[in-house]
Amino acid sequence: MAAQRDTALGTLSRRAVVAIVGCMLAGATWTVLYAAGVPVPMAIPYTLVPTGLVLSATATWLAGEVPGLGRGGRQFWRRITVSTLLVGVGAAVMTPARLNPDASYALTLIQLSAPVLAIGIVCVLYALLRLPVRALSRGEWARLGLDGLTVLITTGLFLWHLALRPMVEHNSDLGVVLGLSVVGTACLVTLVAVLKVVLLGSGPVGRRSMAILASTLLAGGFSSAVSPLIAAHPRFTGLQTMLTLTEWLLVGCAAWAQWRSAGAQQSQRAARPYSKLPYYAGGATLVLLAAVAYTDHRDIAAVASGAIAVSAVVGARQLVALHDNARLLASVSAHEQRLRHQATHDPLTDLVNRAHFTDLLGEALQRPQPAAVLLIDLDDFKLINDTLGHAVGDEVLTTVANRLRSAVRHDDMVARLGGDEFAALLYDVGGEHAIRVAERIRDVLTTSVAAGGHELLVRASVGVATSAPGDEVDTLLRNADLAMYAAKERGKGGHFVYVPGMTTRIVAHAELGARLRDAIDAGQLFLEYQPIVRLDDGHTVGTEALVRWRHPELGIVPPGEFIPAAEQTGLVVPLGRWVLREACAQQARWLAGLGPAAPSYVSVNVAGRQLTEADFSADVLGALADVGLPARHLMIEVTETAVVDAAAIAVLEALRDADVRIALDDFGTAASSLGLLLTCPVATLKLDRSFVDEITTVARQEAVATAVIRMAQALVLSTVAEGIETEAQARMLRHLGYTYGQGYLYSRPLPPEALAARSLAAPALAGLAVQHTS
């Protein structure tokens, strides 16, 4: 029903416009016949004008019913309907006075029509001002105001010269002059309001409708201007009727255009780079000035004054435009600088990014003096992100960036290449200065970093490369990268200087990592087990699983070569998972086959990278469940550096709660050892072999070993001394109170079968304190 009603109203609006066109055709016929002297009834034009007015008002009223128009648009068209009726009535009353200003009734008609016209024009003005327009800056409002003032002055001049002055000259009455002045001023202000809406656009009313309404006002001004000319030629009286009907037709067309837009929200007109309106107005003023100067000199003063005013306003408008352009150019320049900075700098640390660093390095290599590049990679930064979150990681990166800036000269450049990788470009320096900078970087990172409520120790591995004549950007960066990886191999938190020949070794190391990936799937890995014995009688109580690699071409690859490659490539996770499952399976086989003679547990080393894996606990428990091995027969060995955060400790606590044993390996070699005894759920301390090597000859090593056993006894922890190779060492450790040990004195790592045979032979070895197996 609603759709049918809308269709009917739209059809009615269109028919109203068509009817106005019919009135115009009838008026044109009457005008031609009257001008030709044919006797036609005078009642016809007086009937056509109000008929057109009613049709026009009907069309505007119907425009307020356009579907989807909204409350603002509906109110606008209602107000236009009221103003149309008022202006039509006022114009109809004033028409006889305009056609015959010398008549006795002209003064009375003017006095009656002026207030009605003024009220109608005010209604138009109010309707226009209530329409929303797009937001403008102060500069745009200033330009718009000056454009409107230009049109106002120009239109005022034409209205004065062509309409108001002739009527004032024939009517000296003050009331008439004031009334005409009010009407003229209202028309001018309304014209400016129309122009504002046309130029800026308005949401609820279509731009085409507004443009037609603006032309209606111009048509009304033209009709007023030519009224004296028509009055001077009575035969052409019908032209006044045609002009009035044209106004009603334009109003009706504006309303019909609203229906054509279907009430849709009109898009805002894009701002123009410049406006031609002031120039049109100025040109029209000059034409009027020329016409007055060469014809009627009586109005030369007023028109000349108007021309001067228009020129002054156009000049002021140009000054405002120039000021706005200058401000816009400054804004664009600042914006370009911001964009350029964003394109060349890292948004988090505000250091230069990789692309810009590469450009700067290329420029530095063009200088005659050498340059140095330091590639800086934060050690174990992934642990911070994975355990404490990226927000804490970002704080760490920002702090590190500021400290790196402080470690270089003002003219040198520090960059963030991505992630936790930084670089420094040192201009005009040699290798010795670059090494001093690397040492300063190490020093500035010794102080802990406060981030997210945590005090974190951040270390970095630094690769140093100095340019040689003919070096390219890629060459120097590759050399620094190789040096950085060499620094990581030597131990975290240090630096390494690139030397020729490193490339071959690094490439070989990378190839070894690639081969290791295939070895895991090809079954080239195997485990050996080193017994862990009771120091009092040499009885095997457990074993430590040690991974070995038998390559078909390279033979036995030492663990010292492929374990670092696994850690750097991330293969330590699948490698550790394979070792865990194989060790659990072997321990289950020993328990089933050897019975009481079997080792009571197997110990597996776990890397810090494994502890950060979300499913590590599930992997451990799954490996136990798959082979039916009780959790008490598995010991997990972790290093002190692998459990420096709460997340890793939480994983170990979960395993401890599941009855898995936890041992702290290489105890005493890291700064965090004492704190870990309070937080990490360990059951066993393994004294690092570095404190056993010379325990019988070096008093400090004996003192450390003594302190460790005293702490273990106080905390009710078992102890295992690693690397025992002589009877003297074993005797000293037993004397200090150590319960268990392992080393070549008792046995080298053994294949599973050999260890089983050793375990079965244990009763025959009763009474022996130790057994040395070469």
Q: What is the pLDDT of residues 37-60, one digit of tens each?
A: 888 887 887 788 888 888 888 988
Q: Are 258 and 209 in contact (CB under 8 A)?
A: yes
**CB-based contacts of 743, cutoff 8 Å, min separation 6:** 689, 692, 721, 722, 723, 724, 725, 729
Q: Which residue's entry shows tokens 């309707």?
A: 127
CA pair distance 424, 476, nearest whole angstrom = 12
The torsion defined by the Cα of 81, 86, 89 and 93, in degrees rounded to 10, comes to -160
Looking at the chain, the whole-number percentage of residues with pLDDT higher than 70 is 77
Q: Which amino acid is at 46?
A: Y
**pLDDT-derived band of residue 151, with 50, 70 and 90 as boundaries?**
low
Which residues lie across from 426 on neighbouring strands?
372
pLDDT reading at 499 higher than 50: yes
Provide the pLDDT for residue 1: 62
Provide the pLDDT for residue 99: 53
- Report, as an integer, the average pLDDT of 232-250: 77
453-469: b or e for each residue (b if 16 or more CB lie within 10 Å)?
A: ebebebebbbbbbbbee
Looking at the chain, the whole-number percentage of residues with pLDDT higher than 90 is 29
73 by DSSP, 3-state: which?
helix
- Residue 149: which of 349, 328, 324, 315 has the closest Cα? 315
Q: Which amino acid is at 477?
A: L
Q: Which amino acid is at 748?
A: R
Higher local confidence (pLDDT), 188 or 226: 226
- Report, as an integer, the average pLDDT of 326-345: 87
Higher local confidence (pLDDT), 527 or 315: 527
- Residue 500: which of 475, 527, 473, 533 has the closest Cα? 475
Among the listed residues 553, 722, 725, 727, the single catalytic one is 722
**CB-based contacts of 424, cutoff 8 Å, min separation 6:** 373, 374, 376, 404, 407, 408, 412, 413, 414, 415, 437, 441
Higher local confidence (pLDDT), 387 or 102: 387
Burial class (CB in 10 A: 0-12, 13-18, 19+), 54: middle
Provide the pLDDT for residue 771: 43
**pLDDT-derived band of residue 770, with 50, 70 and 90 as boundaries?**
very low
- Report, as an integer, the average pLDDT of 190-203: 53
Take residue 732 and report the two structure tokens written for it: 């000293």
Provide the pLDDT for residue 270: 45
Higher local confidence (pLDDT), 124 or 163: 124
**Highest mean pLDDT (candidates 158-167, 234-243, 582-591):** 582-591
The pTM assigned to this predicted structure is 0.45
pLDDT reading at 592 higher than 50: yes
- Report, as an integer, the average pLDDT of 465-472: 91
- Report, as an integer, the average pLDDT of 287-291: 77
**pLDDT-derived band of residue 674, with 50, 70 and 90 as boundaries?**
low
**pLDDT-derived band of residue 309, with 50, 70 and 90 as boundaries?**
confident
pLDDT reading at 353 higher than 90: yes
CA pair distance 68, 305, nearest whole angstrom = 49
- On the question of a common fold for 354-500 and 511-762, the answer reads no
Instruction: Find the range with the poorest average confidence among 279-288, 511-520, 652-661, 718-727.
Output: 279-288
**pLDDT-derived band of residue 97, with 50, 70 and 90 as boundaries?**
low
684 by DSSP, 3-state: which?
strand
What confidence tens digit (pLDDT) does each residue in 718-756 have? 999 999 999 999 999 999 999 999 999 999 999 999 999
- Report, as an integer, the average pLDDT of 248-257: 85
**pLDDT-derived band of residue 765, with 50, 70 and 90 as boundaries?**
very low
Higher local confidence (pLDDT), 244 or 354: 354
CA distances from 592 to 463, 598, 600, 628, 649 (A): 52, 8, 12, 11, 33
**pLDDT-derived band of residue 607, with 50, 70 and 90 as boundaries?**
confident
**pLDDT-derived band of residue 636, with 50, 70 and 90 as boundaries?**
very high
Q: Are 486 and 499 in contact (CB under 8 A)?
A: no
- Residue 396: which of 335, 449, 332 has the closest Cα? 449
CATH architecture of 511-762: Alpha-Beta Barrel (3.20)
Q: Which amino acid is at 451?
A: A
**Highest mean pLDDT (candidates 143-157, 525-539, 698-712):** 525-539
Which residues lie across from 454 on neighbouring strands?
451
On average, the pLDDT of the chain sits at 80
CATH architecture of 354-500: 2-Layer Sandwich (3.30)
CA pair distance 246, 675, nearest whole angstrom = 96
Provide the pLDDT for residue 399: 95
- Report, as an integer, the average pLDDT of 78-89: 84
Provide the pLDDT for residue 179: 47
- Is 140 an active-site residue? no
- Report, as an integer, the average pLDDT of 138-153: 69
Take residue 596 and report the two structure tokens written for it: 């009481």
pLDDT reading at 144 higher than 70: no
CA pair distance 133, 195, nearest whole angstrom = 12
pLDDT reading at 318 higher than 60: yes
Domain boundaries defined on the chain: 2-324, 354-500, 511-762
Provide the pLDDT for residue 772: 41
- Residue 529: which of 603, 437, 588, 598 has the closest Cα? 603
CA pair distance 181, 74, nearest whole angstrom = 32
Instruction: Find the range with the poorest average confidence among 171-180, 219-228, 342-351, 544-553.
Output: 171-180
